[in-house]
Amino acid sequence: MASVWIPSLESSGDSLLISIFVLMSLPAYFISDAHLGVEPPGAVPDREKALVRFVESLRGHASHLVIVGDLFEFWYEYNDYVNRNHFDLFFALRALVDSGCEVHLLQGNHDFAYGDFFPKSIGAQVHKELFLEIQGKRVYFRHGDGVARSDFGYRLFRRVLDFPLNRFLFRQIHPDWGMALARFVGRSSRKAGESRVIKMEEYLAWAKHALAKGNADLCVLGHHHVSGIWTVDGGLVASSGEWIKKLSYLRMEAGEICLDEFGDDR
Ligand SMILES: [Mn+2]
């Protein structure tokens, strides 16, 4: 990665240049689909605590953390209240931002209703889709819900939730009741989705198109919970999988992407 010399800062020069260079050469990390707030059968015990430790471990060791959707099983913000169950995670993310790491969140189909809490209080930006230049590569991020044609039923469900009147009505419910209702709806939709066959070829066809359209080298998707790195015409497609039964993540270093799993030995 080429560094840029800034003449007006020449007096403090070397150390500034070194710190810019170090930041640019640090690895970037991508995770998705933690669905925090529920404990599906087979989930790794204390996986949210493990995620907090993972985020803490990146402090000073990462240029970017991109959370590619469905960090939460359900997310809703009220004007003066946020879900306190995730306080340690908020704190760790804020400390990571303060350490100089860029933190981005993609909206997922479960956590589509972000307000300004993450940008304002954490310093993490929220996006529907995102392009980033990382280590000389152009990377496209998107959660990936609604991509596969097999998702038709779900897409209909999402359209109902996106309707402003429904959001307004939801806001009138007491937060404790609203969260309980959302967990109930989530449980039934998960049961309905359990037998769903993941048509990876549809995700890859979509990603190939997105790479060409966005002139990108790498497309990072989540949603289907399958870990992998695939080669398609025009670039690579990568998915970390999930932070539920496995604590898997993607690491990008020197322009190369690889899959790994978080263990406490790290
Ligand atoms: Mn999803």
Smallest CA-to-CA distance from 223 within 168, 148, 161, 167 is with: 148
Q: Supply 15's token pair.
A: 């150390």
Query: What's the whole-number mean pLDDT along residues 210-224?
Result: 96
Q: What's the CA-to-centroid distance between 34 and ligand 1, angstroms?
A: 10
Q: What's the CA-to-centroid distance between 244 and ligand 1, angstroms?
A: 13
Q: What's the CA-to-centroid distance between 107 and ligand 1, angstroms?
A: 9
Q: What's the CA-to-centroid distance between 127 and ligand 1, angstroms?
A: 14
What percent of the chain has a predicted confidence (pLDDT) above 70? Answer: 81
Q: What's the CA-to-centroid distance between 111 and ligand 1, angstroms?
A: 9
Q: What is the largest CA-CA distance in the chain?
A: 63
What is the tens place of the pLDDT at every residue in 159-214? 766 777 877 888 888 888 888 877 777 776 665 555 567 889 999 999 999 999 99
Tokens 């059968």: give the residue.
41
Q: What's the CA-to-centroid distance between 213 and ligand 1, angstroms?
A: 23
Q: What is the pTM of this model?
A: 0.86
Q: What is the DSSP letter of 9?
A: G
Q: What's the CA-to-centroid distance between 21 and ligand 1, angstroms?
A: 35
Q: What's the CA-to-centroid distance between 249 and ligand 1, angstroms?
A: 16
Identify the H or E element spanning 103. Answer: strand 102-106
Would you kindly state where each structural domain of the chain is located, as residue ranges? Answer: 22-261
Q: In what order do the strands lie in the sheet with 129-134?
A: 129-134, 137-142, 218-221, 235-239, 228-232
Q: What's the CA-to-centroid distance between 70 and ligand 1, angstroms?
A: 5
Q: What's the CA-to-centroid distance between 66 and ligand 1, angstroms?
A: 15
Listing DSSP states for 212-253 in one string gives HHHT-SEEEE-SS---EEEEETTEEEEE---BSSSBEEEEEE
What is the tens place of the pLDDT at every residue in 110-150? 888 899 999 999 999 999 999 999 999 999 999 998 777 65
pLDDT tier at 151, thresholds 50, 70, 90: low
Query: Which residues crowd ion ligand 1, with CB under 5 Å?
Result: 70, 108-109, 145, 223
Q: What's the CA-to-centroid distance between 134 and ligand 1, angstroms?
A: 24
Q: Supply 144's token pair.
A: 């990936």
User: What distance lies between CA 29 and its chain's CA centroid?
Assistant: 10
Candidate from 13-17, 42-46, 91-95, 176-180 with smallest mean pLDDT: 13-17
User: May I ask the CATH class of domain 22-261?
Assistant: alpha beta
Q: What is the DSSP letter of 35?
A: -
Q: What's the CA-to-centroid distance between 150 and ligand 1, angstroms?
A: 13
Query: Where is pLDDT greater, at 42 or 147?
Result: 42
Query: Do the beta carbons of residue 30 and residue 238 sit within 8 Å?
Result: yes
Q: What's the CA-to-centroid distance between 20 and ligand 1, angstroms?
A: 35
